[in-house]
Amino acid sequence: MAGRRGSQTLPYSKVKTKTSRRRKSQLRDFLSTNIFCIGIIVSLGVFIVVVLRYGIPIPPSTRPQNSSYPSFSQRKSSPLQRSTSLNGTYSPVDISTKGLYDKIQFLDVDGGPWKQGWVVKYKGDEWNDEKLKVFVVPHSHNDPGWKLTVEEYYMRQSRHILDTIVETLSRDTRRKFIWEEMSYLERWWRDASESKKQSLINLVKNGQLEIVGGGWVMNDEANSHYFAIIEQMMEGNMWLADNVGVVPKNAWAIDPFGYSATMAYLLRRMGFENMLIQRTHYEVKKELALHQNLEFLWRQVWDLEGTADIFVHMMPFYSYDVPHTCGPEPAVCCQFDFARTHGFSYEFCPWGEHPVETNPSNVQERALKLLDQYRKKSTLYRTNTLLIPLGDDFRYVTVDEAEAQFRNYQLLFDYINSNPSLNAEAMFGTLEDYFQTLRAEAEKINFSRAGELGSDELEGFPSLSGDFFTYADRQQDYWSGYYVSRPFFKAVDRVLEETLRASEIMFALVMAYCQRHSCAKFPINFSDKLTAARRNLALFQHHDGVTGTAKDHVVEDYGLRMHTSLDDLKIFMSKSVEVLLNIHNNKSTPSLVSQFEAEEVRSKYNVQPVHRVIEVPEGSAQSIVLFNPLEQSREEIVMVIVTDPDICVLSSNWSSVRSQIAPELQHEKDKLFTEKHRVFWRASVPPLGLQTYYIANGYAGCEKPRHSKLKIFAGLEPVSCPASYTCSKLVEDTVEVQNHLHTLTFDTKHGLLQKVTNHKDHSVTIVEEEIGMYSSMGSGAYLFKPTGEAQPIIQAGGRLVISEGPLMQEVYSYPKVSWEDTPISYSTRIYNGENTVQGFFIEKEYHVDLLDSNFNDRELIARFKTQIENKQIFYSDLNGFQMSRRETYDKIPLQGNYYPMPSLAFLQNAEGHRFSIHSRQSLGVASLRNGWLEIMLDRRLTQDDGRGLGQGVLDNRPMNVIFHLLIEQKVSVSVNDLAGPAPLNPSLLSHRVSGHLNYPMHIFVSKKAEEKSGHSPPKSFSPLISSLPCDVHIVGFKVPRPLKFLDRTTKDLRFLLILQKRGWDSSYCNKGGFGCSTLTNGVFDLFSIFNDLSIQEARAASLNTLHDYIENVGSIDERHRKQLQEITSDGEILLYPMELQAYKLEILPKQ
């Protein structure tokens, strides 16, 4: 593979701090006597320049010099010393996106024909030594849902496009094409004849058709969680390998609205070598183009050695359509989009000059005009290898259209290629053709700039770190609206994701225990529905799916698909509970109907889930089974809904459990209480395990739940006290609730949080909660365009209910607003759970309802105003995988300072006083003033924003948004440099809080109550030997190909385990609040995870399962490849901070 090297070490890793101090001493001693002092002065000067430019040199890693991973034989003698917390460390690079933002003035200067650039010129001799090599890459961008559903698009366009590709490419071997979305290719595959399938395979094998990316969809990169990204890439890549026999290595992402460093990392660890991106801020494109930096090696900010560097080509112009891809002048390029001629359905060129058929009389003039654009575009890049995409949305629908493009361009190519004096060669090509030729040229010619660090992955290009949010396409229009559009379905997406992950774990465990026993038939029979769930989650990751930027009926289609899969998965999990609880007693075929059902019920695709109401007859007990999808044991206060408060809670051995009962509340002005009851108790569930409890009625000696004491502030309208509870009237202006750790103070009349007092150090954090709304006249599904700042909407005089008890304290507010109906109500809860994760956070739940037309063209936010001096700097996560440093800039508009927040945002001061907000769905976040953190909750918009959708966003749904707030203080004395480019990492406790919120306990209820006389034996299931260390996360445990599980003719291992060693900030409590162990020296015992299962064989793999780990997934030296394929005989592996590491396993029950 051209251009590949061994792993990169730090550019100045041999310059150590102690050495530099010694040199300073020598300079003083020998200044007057030693002639070599001149050399020392020069060295010192160079060192100072390096320190000023890049910061204090980082000590070298203990990895071997030429390997990105140490050999396994070295592990015990050379324990891992690579940082486990990554506190403020970052990899030096040539370009950071922070540096770009600091430098760019964002003046939106009109550049002439290339409006967002400048008038591009060339001298003419640039290609004398190395001719211009032009690869024109035909493509068709097929959205799996946008204005039409995926099936509608397939029937009307995509199936015809694929037919056209096969037919027209088969006519001429010089023709090339690329295809990206496997969702459409798989659908076509089901309909295609065997001869058509074979023709497509032949085109792929001979290099005419390249599958690029090969994910199920071209996923969004702002809202999608990294688990779902891996899932959609794996689903598409595995289907492609199984059916077409190819594994892609070049990624193509022309339409996501901004780009995440997480995606670059995941692609590299899946074996991709190159990637192409398009939609980045037009001012960023201009700045990079000015310095020929549009091609770079994208490095993770925490990857000190560049082991995951991936080569990136950024397209320079406004769009990926033909007018904006051949060169800087769209009026000229449009003339070479031959599908815009009469007879086709596409719009004519808006610049007034239209394509004309190429013929012998005009070919010279047309070819030279096109070549002029190619040459101008070429000057924006370093090499003389040029990429020219040729396509647009849903192009090449008919053979006539395809022939028009191929025929005309081949005539132009023939003219260019037959005139050597032009120093150019043009041809149809694929991404692979382009990148291979570019790498070969970079091998031959050194394109490196003076002082450039570059990357060992491919020399001659700069290294870059950071992400490309928030995207603006023109005239300071920022695409920050889609971070929040359709938040109801963004929430459903994450519920499906965590439910799928839990179901995959259960599926793998059932298969591991059952193997060839008859109970294996049950999960095998579910395989089709499991595959459908994977694909429905994958489909919604499309950049018009999870973004909320599709037509209403398309959103409905996505929602119905996700709802169907959620129902299927809940049924499967209910049955798996029964199988796993009886696994040691009975391996026969389970009955078709499960004894259990999910406690949470969602009746329709577009409604909130509700809790199943449990009614326990006198003298009986209802089984409640809890499943813990986390890799650590879980002590947690759980809740179910009951009809009768006169019940009690029993453990699996039928002993009494302390509990609390409280009335159920609802978002209804005239009826705050539902007449049902919430029962809380503290449960203990093993990692990846099950535990049974009982809700009993009429059991002698069973401890009844403690009733919550209620305090009510009702304003002018009285609220009746629910039966069986004691109520008192609130008259104070402020009210407090507390647990063992915090006291929360609220403003009674508004029901809003004011401050939090920590009992341990008596510190007070001001957390002034505010609910506000933006008004807008230009916002749409994509764009956020407020007309001013958000205005508070809560007025004095709402209703407030405080519920206090031994396990949970709650403040619920139904506020007063200027409208008849409030768009929001909210609860704040704290839990009395010492040595539980719940005891550390504050739970905020907002019920959001923007259905009324009074809220048209408004965007609802929750804002927290703290006293923390964050200097306009805060941190938000990228895809739930890593943090990114954000800075609020006065030189860009408010909406440009909004960023995606899939799961976490925090701000802190230099001394480490940190305020974090955890979310279980993707939303938008900003810190517009010092100490403020605000999150947009929902938006209701009547207007289209001119980006093609053709409608506003008016299909809002009532929904609940849950945040976990965390206030922390450093335990070390280090001071963070907030101005530095490095993102800060979550604490270990913060990771635990995130896991608690994003991977909730799954609760199942027996369909039939147990009689008082029939005490069954204790029922639990504990598959792991013990909890894993708190910094080790099981990203996934699954059977990748369930239908092939019983086929032992294949040599592939049947289970897949993906692990991550979390990067965490060790300047905060390293016990994760309490009771945490962390991985020692990165050594993890893979073979000692399970209780009753034995790992027979393990093999490291890429994240898409299609490569051995050391093959094509990073810069790894050849001499270590063989060693890295092995795992020590006792099962030890090394886990590195932040890294995702996948292992194929063969698992059998222990004898």
The residue length of the chain stands at 1151
For residues 774 and 787, what is the distance between their CA atoms, to the nearest angstrom? 8
Which segments of the chain have a pLDDT < 70?
Answer: 1-88, 584, 587-592, 973-977, 1013-1015, 1109-1128
**Residue 363: what pLDDT?**
98
**Residue 164: what pLDDT?**
98
Task: Report pTM.
Answer: 0.92
Model pLDDT for residues 791-825, shown as the tens digit of each residue: 999 999 999 999 999 999 999 999 999 999 999 99
**Kindly report the CA angle at 737 between 732 and 742, in degrees rounded to 5?**
135
For residues 625 and 652, what is the distance between their CA atoms, to the nearest angstrom? 9
**Kindly report the CA angle at 235 between 234 and 241, in degrees rounded to 5?**
80
For residues 352 and 810, what is the distance between their CA atoms, to the nearest angstrom? 65
Cα 39 vs. chain centroid, distance in angstroms? 50
At 656, give phi and psi (nearest 5°). -75, 145
**Residue 44: what pLDDT?**
57
Instruction: Determine the 3-state secondary structure of 923 from DSSP.
Output: strand
Could you tell me if residue 415 is left (phi over 0), alpha (psi between -120 and 50 degrees) or otherwise beta?
alpha
- Whether omega for the bond prior to residue 385 falls within 30 degrees of 0, making it cis, is no
Q: Which two tokens stand for residue 727?
A: 């109520």
Q: Which two tokens stand for residue 426?
A: 């043009």
Instruction: Determine the 3-state secondary structure of 503 from DSSP.
Output: helix
Q: Which residues contact 715 (CB under 8 A, 6 or more apart)?
A: 797, 798, 799, 816
- Is 414 marked active-site? no
Query: CB count, 10 Å around CB of 342?
Result: 7
**Residue 1112: what pLDDT?**
52
Q: Which two tokens stand for residue 637?
A: 């206060």
b/e sequence 857-896, b meaning 16+ C-beta within 10 Å: bbbbbbbbbbebebbbbbbbbbbbbbbbbbbbeeebbbbb
**Residue 689: what pLDDT?**
98
Q: Estimate the share of the chain in helix, then strand, then coil, as percent rounded to the nearest 5.
A: 25, 25, 45
Query: CB count, 10 Å around CB of 705?
Result: 25
Cα 414 vs. chain centroid, distance in angstroms? 46
The DSSP 8-state label assigned to residue 2 in this structure reads: T
Strands (E), 951-1050: 959-968, 1002-1006, 1010-1011, 1020-1021, 1032-1038
Instruction: Determine the 3-state secondary structure of 773 from DSSP.
Output: strand
Query: CB count, 10 Å around CB of 821?
Result: 12
CA atoms within 13 Å, Cβ hemisphere of 246: 21
Catalytic residue among 255, 337, 467, 557: 255
CA distances from 857 to 564, 712, 795, 940, 1068 (A): 32, 34, 21, 6, 42
